[in-house]
Amino acid sequence: MEVMTGLAIATNCFGACTKEDVPDKDYDFLIKQENQKDGIDLYKPKSTINYSYEIKCPLCKIMLASEERQKIQNILSTGSERLLDSIIKDYNKEADSVDKIDNIDRLEAIYKKMEEIAKTIEEMRFYKHTCTRNDICQRKENQDIYIDLCFNSPQEKMEKDLKVDLNKLKTDENYKNKYLSDRQIAYENHIRRVQKEQIEDEYRSEFEAYTFKKERDKYEWATRNVKDNYQRHMEFENRKGPMDIRFEFQASNEWYKEKGSFKYSGTKKKLLRFIQDLTGQYINDHIEMGKSEYKEFQKYILERDQDYYEYLDVE
Protein backbone atom coordinates (compact mmCIF):
# COMPACT_ATOMS: atom_id res chain seq x y z
CA MET A 1 0.00 0.00 0.00
CA GLU A 2 1.54 3.32 -1.08
CA VAL A 3 1.99 5.99 1.58
CA MET A 4 1.42 9.64 0.66
CA THR A 5 4.38 11.93 0.27
CA GLY A 6 5.14 14.65 2.78
CA LEU A 7 3.89 17.28 0.29
CA ALA A 8 0.59 15.48 -0.15
CA ILE A 9 0.11 15.18 3.60
CA ALA A 10 0.87 18.84 4.13
CA THR A 11 -1.61 19.76 1.37
CA ASN A 12 -4.25 17.57 2.99
CA CYS A 13 -3.72 19.39 6.31
CA PHE A 14 -4.32 22.74 4.57
CA GLY A 15 -0.99 24.10 5.82
CA ALA A 16 -1.75 23.28 9.49
CA CYS A 17 0.19 20.03 9.87
CA THR A 18 2.14 19.35 13.02
CA LYS A 19 4.72 16.67 13.76
CA GLU A 20 1.90 14.50 15.13
CA ASP A 21 0.12 14.58 11.73
CA VAL A 22 3.06 13.06 9.85
CA PRO A 23 3.29 9.25 9.54
CA ASP A 24 6.22 7.64 11.31
CA LYS A 25 7.30 5.17 8.64
CA ASP A 26 9.63 3.39 11.09
CA TYR A 27 6.93 2.79 13.71
CA ASP A 28 6.59 -0.94 14.36
CA PHE A 29 5.71 -1.14 18.05
CA LEU A 30 2.31 -2.72 17.41
CA ILE A 31 2.32 -6.07 15.60
CA LYS A 32 -0.68 -7.45 13.74
CA GLN A 33 -1.78 -10.82 15.14
CA GLU A 34 -2.92 -13.82 13.13
CA ASN A 35 -6.07 -14.14 15.21
CA GLN A 36 -8.78 -11.47 15.27
CA LYS A 37 -11.04 -10.20 18.03
CA ASP A 38 -14.75 -10.00 17.24
CA GLY A 39 -13.87 -10.27 13.56
CA ILE A 40 -11.60 -7.22 13.76
CA ASP A 41 -7.83 -7.12 13.29
CA LEU A 42 -5.88 -7.23 16.56
CA TYR A 43 -2.52 -5.53 17.19
CA LYS A 44 -0.22 -6.37 20.10
CA PRO A 45 2.76 -4.40 21.50
CA LYS A 46 6.34 -5.66 21.19
CA SER A 47 6.98 -4.87 24.89
CA THR A 48 5.23 -3.55 27.97
CA ILE A 49 3.38 -0.28 27.43
CA ASN A 50 4.25 2.34 30.02
CA TYR A 51 2.70 5.48 28.56
CA SER A 52 -0.02 6.21 26.00
CA TYR A 53 2.29 8.26 23.78
CA GLU A 54 4.07 5.00 22.87
CA ILE A 55 0.99 4.03 20.86
CA LYS A 56 0.44 5.23 17.31
CA CYS A 57 -2.10 3.96 14.84
CA PRO A 58 -0.45 0.91 13.22
CA LEU A 59 -2.36 1.54 9.98
CA CYS A 60 -1.51 5.16 9.20
CA LYS A 61 1.41 5.30 11.69
CA ILE A 62 0.27 8.69 13.01
CA MET A 63 0.11 9.66 16.68
CA LEU A 64 -3.33 9.14 18.20
CA ALA A 65 -5.45 12.20 18.93
CA SER A 66 -4.93 13.71 22.37
CA GLU A 67 -8.41 12.58 23.49
CA GLU A 68 -7.59 8.98 22.60
CA ARG A 69 -4.19 9.17 24.28
CA GLN A 70 -5.86 10.45 27.44
CA LYS A 71 -8.39 7.60 27.39
CA ILE A 72 -5.58 5.05 27.06
CA GLN A 73 -3.55 6.76 29.77
CA ASN A 74 -6.56 6.57 32.11
CA ILE A 75 -6.79 2.84 31.39
CA LEU A 76 -3.06 2.38 32.07
CA SER A 77 -3.39 4.33 35.33
CA THR A 78 -6.21 2.03 36.46
CA GLY A 79 -4.93 -1.34 35.31
CA SER A 80 -1.65 -1.89 33.50
CA GLU A 81 1.27 -4.29 33.48
CA ARG A 82 3.35 -1.53 35.05
CA LEU A 83 1.00 -1.45 38.06
CA LEU A 84 1.00 -5.23 38.21
CA ASP A 85 4.82 -5.30 38.14
CA SER A 86 4.88 -2.86 41.07
CA ILE A 87 2.62 -5.07 43.19
CA ILE A 88 4.59 -8.18 42.23
CA LYS A 89 7.71 -6.41 43.51
CA ASP A 90 5.90 -5.64 46.77
CA TYR A 91 4.90 -9.29 47.07
CA ASN A 92 8.42 -10.58 46.44
CA LYS A 93 9.88 -7.99 48.80
CA GLU A 94 7.56 -9.27 51.51
CA ALA A 95 8.54 -12.86 50.67
CA ASP A 96 12.18 -11.87 51.23
CA SER A 97 11.51 -9.86 54.38
CA VAL A 98 13.16 -11.01 57.63
CA ASP A 99 11.31 -9.06 60.34
CA LYS A 100 8.68 -11.75 60.94
CA ILE A 101 8.58 -15.53 60.63
CA ASP A 102 4.95 -16.17 59.64
CA ASN A 103 4.04 -13.51 57.09
CA ILE A 104 1.53 -15.53 55.08
CA ASP A 105 -1.28 -13.12 56.03
CA ARG A 106 0.76 -10.23 54.63
CA LEU A 107 1.39 -12.12 51.39
CA GLU A 108 -2.30 -12.90 51.07
CA ALA A 109 -3.26 -9.21 51.44
CA ILE A 110 -0.81 -8.18 48.69
CA TYR A 111 -1.94 -11.08 46.49
CA LYS A 112 -5.56 -9.88 46.68
CA LYS A 113 -4.49 -6.46 45.37
CA MET A 114 -2.57 -8.24 42.63
CA GLU A 115 -5.65 -10.23 41.62
CA GLU A 116 -7.74 -7.06 41.48
CA ILE A 117 -5.24 -5.37 39.16
CA ALA A 118 -4.99 -8.50 36.98
CA LYS A 119 -8.78 -8.62 36.70
CA THR A 120 -8.93 -4.93 35.76
CA ILE A 121 -6.23 -5.45 33.12
CA GLU A 122 -8.14 -8.32 31.53
CA GLU A 123 -11.37 -6.29 31.49
CA MET A 124 -9.79 -3.20 29.89
CA ARG A 125 -6.85 -4.50 27.87
CA PHE A 126 -8.46 -4.39 24.40
CA TYR A 127 -8.83 -0.84 23.14
CA LYS A 128 -10.91 -0.26 20.01
CA HIS A 129 -9.41 2.34 17.69
CA THR A 130 -10.88 3.70 14.46
CA CYS A 131 -8.40 4.86 11.84
CA THR A 132 -9.89 7.77 9.87
CA ARG A 133 -6.81 8.53 7.75
CA ASN A 134 -8.35 7.03 4.63
CA ASP A 135 -6.37 9.30 2.33
CA ILE A 136 -3.05 8.10 3.75
CA CYS A 137 -4.11 4.46 3.85
CA GLN A 138 -5.80 4.78 0.42
CA ARG A 139 -9.14 3.27 1.34
CA LYS A 140 -12.72 4.45 1.04
CA GLU A 141 -13.97 3.85 4.59
CA ASN A 142 -12.68 4.13 8.14
CA GLN A 143 -11.19 0.97 9.61
CA ASP A 144 -11.64 -0.38 13.13
CA ILE A 145 -8.92 -2.29 14.92
CA TYR A 146 -8.28 -3.55 18.44
CA ILE A 147 -5.07 -2.63 20.26
CA ASP A 148 -4.04 -5.01 23.02
CA LEU A 149 -2.64 -2.87 25.84
CA CYS A 150 -1.01 -5.97 27.31
CA PHE A 151 2.31 -7.54 26.35
CA ASN A 152 2.15 -10.47 28.79
CA SER A 153 -0.79 -12.36 30.21
CA PRO A 154 -1.35 -11.04 33.77
CA GLN A 155 -2.06 -14.55 35.07
CA GLU A 156 1.03 -16.03 33.43
CA LYS A 157 3.10 -13.16 34.81
CA MET A 158 1.85 -13.85 38.34
CA GLU A 159 2.60 -17.55 37.99
CA LYS A 160 6.08 -16.95 36.58
CA ASP A 161 7.37 -13.96 38.58
CA LEU A 162 6.18 -14.67 42.14
CA LYS A 163 8.88 -16.06 44.43
CA VAL A 164 6.37 -17.86 46.64
CA ASP A 165 3.29 -19.82 45.59
CA LEU A 166 0.53 -18.57 47.89
CA ASN A 167 -1.85 -21.38 46.88
CA LYS A 168 0.71 -24.03 47.85
CA LEU A 169 1.34 -22.22 51.13
CA LYS A 170 -2.34 -22.66 51.93
CA THR A 171 -2.78 -26.22 50.62
CA ASP A 172 0.60 -27.99 50.76
CA GLU A 173 1.75 -28.57 54.34
CA ASN A 174 5.26 -29.61 53.34
CA TYR A 175 5.71 -26.53 51.17
CA LYS A 176 4.44 -24.31 53.99
CA ASN A 177 6.67 -25.93 56.62
CA LYS A 178 9.74 -25.55 54.40
CA TYR A 179 8.90 -21.90 53.78
CA LEU A 180 8.45 -21.14 57.50
CA SER A 181 11.58 -23.10 58.40
CA ASP A 182 13.67 -21.05 55.96
CA ARG A 183 12.15 -17.86 57.34
CA GLN A 184 12.96 -18.95 60.89
CA ILE A 185 16.64 -19.18 59.94
CA ALA A 186 16.54 -15.85 58.09
CA TYR A 187 14.79 -14.17 61.03
CA GLU A 188 17.31 -15.45 63.57
CA ASN A 189 20.21 -14.31 61.37
CA HIS A 190 18.55 -10.92 61.05
CA ILE A 191 18.21 -10.58 64.81
CA ARG A 192 21.86 -11.48 65.28
CA ARG A 193 22.90 -8.87 62.68
CA VAL A 194 20.85 -6.25 64.49
CA GLN A 195 22.40 -7.18 67.83
CA LYS A 196 25.89 -7.09 66.35
CA GLU A 197 25.26 -3.66 64.82
CA GLN A 198 23.96 -2.38 68.15
CA ILE A 199 27.18 -3.39 69.90
CA GLU A 200 29.29 -1.86 67.13
CA ASP A 201 27.30 1.38 67.23
CA GLU A 202 27.89 1.54 70.97
CA TYR A 203 31.68 1.61 70.44
CA ARG A 204 31.94 3.39 67.07
CA SER A 205 32.30 6.96 68.35
CA GLU A 206 34.78 5.86 70.98
CA PHE A 207 36.85 4.00 68.38
CA GLU A 208 36.81 6.99 66.01
CA ALA A 209 38.09 9.25 68.80
CA TYR A 210 40.80 6.65 69.56
CA THR A 211 41.95 6.42 65.93
CA PHE A 212 41.78 10.19 65.43
CA LYS A 213 44.47 10.63 68.07
CA LYS A 214 46.76 8.53 65.87
CA GLU A 215 46.21 10.80 62.88
CA ARG A 216 45.72 14.17 64.58
CA ASP A 217 48.99 15.70 63.29
CA LYS A 218 48.26 14.66 59.68
CA TYR A 219 44.70 15.97 60.03
CA GLU A 220 45.84 19.38 61.26
CA TRP A 221 48.37 19.58 58.43
CA ALA A 222 45.69 18.69 55.86
CA THR A 223 43.16 21.20 57.20
CA ARG A 224 45.81 23.98 57.14
CA ASN A 225 46.61 23.15 53.51
CA VAL A 226 42.96 23.19 52.51
CA LYS A 227 42.26 26.41 54.41
CA ASP A 228 45.30 28.17 52.91
CA ASN A 229 44.35 27.08 49.38
CA TYR A 230 40.78 28.24 49.91
CA GLN A 231 41.82 31.63 51.26
CA ARG A 232 44.28 32.23 48.41
CA HIS A 233 41.60 31.31 45.89
CA MET A 234 39.03 33.65 47.43
CA GLU A 235 41.52 36.52 47.69
CA PHE A 236 42.40 36.09 44.01
CA GLU A 237 38.74 36.00 42.98
CA ASN A 238 37.92 39.08 45.10
CA ARG A 239 40.56 41.10 43.28
CA LYS A 240 38.86 40.51 39.94
CA GLY A 241 36.90 43.22 38.23
CA PRO A 242 33.15 43.07 37.53
CA MET A 243 33.75 41.90 33.92
CA ASP A 244 36.26 39.19 34.77
CA ILE A 245 35.32 35.49 34.70
CA ARG A 246 35.03 34.01 38.18
CA PHE A 247 35.81 30.43 39.14
CA GLU A 248 34.38 28.43 42.05
CA PHE A 249 36.79 26.82 44.49
CA GLN A 250 36.89 23.07 43.78
CA ALA A 251 36.30 21.58 47.23
CA SER A 252 36.13 18.03 45.87
CA ASN A 253 39.64 18.37 44.40
CA GLU A 254 41.02 19.24 47.82
CA TRP A 255 39.15 16.33 49.38
CA TYR A 256 40.38 13.70 46.96
CA LYS A 257 43.90 15.10 47.18
CA GLU A 258 44.01 14.75 50.97
CA LYS A 259 41.83 11.72 51.80
CA GLY A 260 44.42 9.16 50.67
CA SER A 261 46.76 10.28 53.46
CA PHE A 262 44.50 8.78 56.11
CA LYS A 263 43.93 5.20 57.20
CA TYR A 264 40.89 5.59 59.41
CA SER A 265 37.34 6.33 58.29
CA GLY A 266 36.62 8.50 61.35
CA THR A 267 39.39 10.92 60.42
CA LYS A 268 38.26 10.96 56.80
CA LYS A 269 34.71 11.83 57.83
CA LYS A 270 36.01 14.61 60.05
CA LEU A 271 38.10 16.05 57.21
CA LEU A 272 35.18 15.82 54.78
CA ARG A 273 32.95 17.78 57.17
CA PHE A 274 35.68 20.40 57.62
CA ILE A 275 36.00 20.99 53.86
CA GLN A 276 32.24 21.13 53.33
CA ASP A 277 31.73 23.56 56.23
CA LEU A 278 34.63 25.76 55.04
CA THR A 279 33.49 26.01 51.43
CA GLY A 280 29.74 25.49 51.69
CA GLN A 281 30.00 22.84 48.98
CA TYR A 282 28.61 19.31 49.18
CA ILE A 283 31.04 16.54 48.27
CA ASN A 284 29.44 13.31 47.06
CA ASP A 285 31.55 10.54 48.57
CA HIS A 286 30.74 7.51 50.72
CA ILE A 287 33.15 6.70 53.53
CA GLU A 288 33.22 3.32 55.26
CA MET A 289 35.71 1.15 57.05
CA GLY A 290 38.14 -0.92 55.02
CA LYS A 291 38.78 -4.57 55.93
CA SER A 292 41.92 -3.88 57.98
CA GLU A 293 40.26 -1.07 59.92
CA TYR A 294 37.18 -3.19 60.59
CA LYS A 295 39.36 -6.00 62.03
CA GLU A 296 41.04 -3.45 64.27
CA PHE A 297 37.60 -2.18 65.28
CA GLN A 298 36.45 -5.70 66.17
CA LYS A 299 39.58 -6.25 68.24
CA TYR A 300 38.93 -2.96 70.01
CA ILE A 301 35.40 -4.09 70.92
CA LEU A 302 36.49 -7.57 72.05
CA GLU A 303 38.94 -6.02 74.50
CA ARG A 304 36.00 -4.23 76.11
CA ASP A 305 33.01 -6.52 75.54
CA GLN A 306 33.36 -10.31 75.68
CA ASP A 307 29.77 -10.83 74.50
CA TYR A 308 30.83 -9.62 71.06
CA TYR A 309 32.64 -12.95 70.46
CA GLU A 310 29.40 -14.75 69.61
CA TYR A 311 28.70 -12.32 66.75
CA LEU A 312 32.04 -12.55 64.95
CA ASP A 313 30.65 -15.06 62.43
CA VAL A 314 27.64 -12.88 61.56
CA GLU A 315 27.88 -11.45 58.04
pLDDT of residue 246: 87
pLDDT of residue 20: 61
The model's pTM is 0.74
pLDDT of residue 241: 87
10-residue mean pLDDT profile of the chain (315 residues): values are 40 43 92 95 95 94 94 93 95 96 97 96 95 91 95 91 95 97 96 96 97 97 97 92 90 95 97 97 95 97 95 91
pLDDT of residue 194: 95
Q: d(Cα 186, Cα 193) in Å, to the nearest integer? A: 10
pLDDT of residue 262: 96
Query: What residue spans define the domains of the chain?
Result: 6-171, 179-241+248-311
CB 48 within 8 A of CB 81: yes
